[in-house]
Each structure stands twice: as C-alpha cells, then as structure tokens.
Chain A
Amino acid sequence: MTRGAILFAFNSPKYNYYKMAEYTAKRINHFLNLPVTLITDKDSLPTDSNYKFDNVVLVEPDKNNIRDWGIWINKGRYQAYELSPYDETLLLDTDYMVNSDKLLKTFDVSVDFCCHDTTTFLMHPNAPQEVLSAYSYKTLWATVVAFKKTKRTKQIFECLEMVQKNYDHYANIHSFIAGVYRNDYALTLALRIANGHTVLPGDIIPWNLLHVGKNTSVYKNSDDEFNTEYTVMFDNWQKGKIRKEYVTIKDMDFHVMNKDNFMELIA
C-alpha cells in the first residue's frame, strides 16, 4: 500500500506556485514523511531547482479562470485520482502550511475519502461558515483532501470533472457567481452528487480547517527551515480606532488565504 501527497502548481503572472509547492513539499516530507508528486506544466518548471519531487507530472493546464489579481490556474483538480501514483493520497493546496503530523490522521479517519466542511479563522473566532449561496449548501473545502483509490472515489472525481465542465449550470442552480471557478464549490457539489445528494459524516475531517484570513498577517518566529512557531497579527477595529492584536501559535497547520503573505513566509 503506497501513500503520498500530491500538489497542483501552475505559475501565474503574479505568483510562483512552483516555489510554493517546493516549500510545501519539503514540509510534507519533513513532518509527514510522505513523498510528494507535483502536477504542473512545462512553463512552471524552473531551471535551477535543487529539490527533487517524488514524481513530476506535466499536464496542459486550463488557463480559463480570471480573478481580480489575474489568471488563476486552478482547474483540473479532478485529475488527482488518475494522476496520483499512490494508493492513499493526500491532496493539498500549495499554500497550506504543514507544521505537524496531524494530517496523517486523515488516512485513519476516513474509509476512502475525506475533506473539511468547517473552518476557523485565526483571530476571527465568530466568522460565519461559507455557503454556496443563501439558499444552498455549506461549502466543503478542497484545501485538504485525503482519498484512497476505490470505485466510489473515482466517481467523486468524475463528478468533480462534470461539475467543472458545467460550472455555469450549477452556479445558476445554486445561485453563486460563476465568473471565478472555485474548487471548493465544485467539490461541495460533486461529493453530494456522488453520495446521493447528501454528505456522509465519514467524509468529513473531524477537525476544522484553520484559515489565516486576508486581513491577518503571519510572521515566522525564526528563520529555521522547519520553523513551527508564528506570530499572527490582526488589526482590530474598535470605536473607530485600530488596535493591533496578536497571538503566537506553534505546531499547528494552517491555510494562508493571502498569497502575498504566503510568499513572504517562504522567502
């Protein structure tokens, strides 16, 4: 039984996703002791990298997704099932900061597939959970997905492909904006379809996905390669004034939503 992680990384004009993936892969190797396969395109491959991924799979990316800051090449995540060389796979976003071995538990908690359905924002404990729209489902998160190669997970990824290819249609039904493709929304719909329009408790990772939101900044407490201590700073608006607040965290994984902040952390 082989076990490993896969990352998708396609450079955009603004962000070097390959560099993010390399950084995250080193941390996966260190904290989880798992090999990492990278799914990328030939334009993202650097000429001067010292790090060696377990496998590098080159694909032709779909560049048809535009965000406020530019092209966001995030489509094609459904290929994870076919492209993963492992029996048990951990699929992570490249901007997920691994600081512990916690994710190894995902292989124990699920039968064959699991992802997050609940998030916590550092410094925003009462932030509401995201929903597709006011009358639709609570969002599932594609940031961390663990899966085994089974007939059912194949169906889930096939559904993901189907939703991606018919995204406008599903956006229309569920009243969300179709302009920007979101893997989280596609996964929310795909998993429900594959499960007979429900979510099975066993498909949910039994802890919250920790986000560092866009108005929160994270700083490393040391320059050690595998530093696990951070200071998280937040501007708290009270009575028209900003009050700077902070917490220190250690040995805790988190997802950095602000890509500029993530690039600063890995610099």
Chain B
Amino acid sequence: MDTKTLIAEAKARFNHNSAKDYLKEKYETKLIIADQGGLWKADPKTISFLNSMTDNFIVVVDTFNNPVQVNRDKLLDVLRETYNKVMLEWYKEWTELEGKR
C-alpha cells in the first residue's frame, strides 16, 4: 500500500506542529559550520556581530565556548552564504508542508 492510500484509509491528519519542529531540527543543523578552527552557527546574532565589527582580525567565541581568532570578512562571507542558502531551503520546504491537511 502506498503512503497516500495509507494516510487516506487511516484518516490521518497532518501534524503541523511536529512538521514545524522537524524542519527546525533539520535546518538548524545545516546552519552549523566549521571554519577557521572554530565551530559556528550561521544565525542572525553571529552575523550581526561580525557585521558590526570593523577590524579585520577579531576574536570570537565559537559554539564550543572557545575564543578563536578569525578573519572577520571571510567568516562573515561564509556565514552569510550559509544562512541565505539554508533559510531559502527551509522556507521552500515549509511552504510545501504548510498546504498539507
């Protein structure tokens, strides 16, 4: 039996809350990247911080709470690129799931 028939016969309802949680879990992982000897999350907070600094070489605390000296521009580029790519994928998949009943 294919899954569409299975869902129809079981009169199963799509659980949007679980879908939302699952997507968050999936895409937050993709925001984590290793670069310049540290582990980073390409989140708005880190990107904003890097953007607000002016020096090229700065020390930033990574997700393991280790201070890491980084090339700010390079890290910012990597995090921005990751953020944009992952968030677009997240948005696309969420839009697909949002229509399910």
Contacts and interface: CB of A to CB of B under 8 A. Distances in A.
Contacts of A105: 29, 32, 34
Interface stretch (A58-66, A80-88, A89-97, A238-246): A238-246
Interface stretch (B18-26, B46-54, B70-78, B80-88): B18-26
Contacts, number: 77
Given A123-B18, A245-B15, A247-B14, A219 B6 contact: yes
**Interface residue range, chain A:** 20 to 34
B90 to A, nearest CB: 12
A5 to B, nearest CB: 19
A210 interface: yes
A120 B14 CA distance: 19
Contacts of A120: 21, 25
B10 A244 contact: yes
Nearest to A220: B3
B85 to A, nearest CB: 14
Nearest to B3: A231
Contacts of B12: 233, 244-246
B28 A207 contact: yes
Interface in A100-140: 102, 105, 108-109, 120, 122-123, 125
A263 to B, nearest CB: 17
Given A220-B3, A234-B18, A244-B13, 8 more contacts: A125-B18, A202-B64, A202-B66, A207-B32, A233-B12, A234-B15, A246-B7, A247-B15
B47 to A, nearest CB: 18
11 contacts: A108-B39, A109-B34, A206-B32, A207-B32, A208-B25, A219-B6, A233-B12, A244-B12, A245-B18, A248-B19, A252-B25
Interface of B: 3, 6-7, 10-15, 17-19, 21-22, 25-26, 28-30, 32, 34, 39, 63-66, 93, 97, 100
A247 B65 contact: no
A167 B86 CA distance: 44
Contacts of B21: 120, 125
A249 interface: yes
Contact of B22 (A122, A202, A220, A234): A122
Contacts of A207: 25, 28-29, 32
Contacts of B26: 249, 251-252
Contact of A245 (B13, B25, B32, B34): B13
Contacts of A201: 64-65
B11 A244 contact: yes
A206 B63 contact: yes
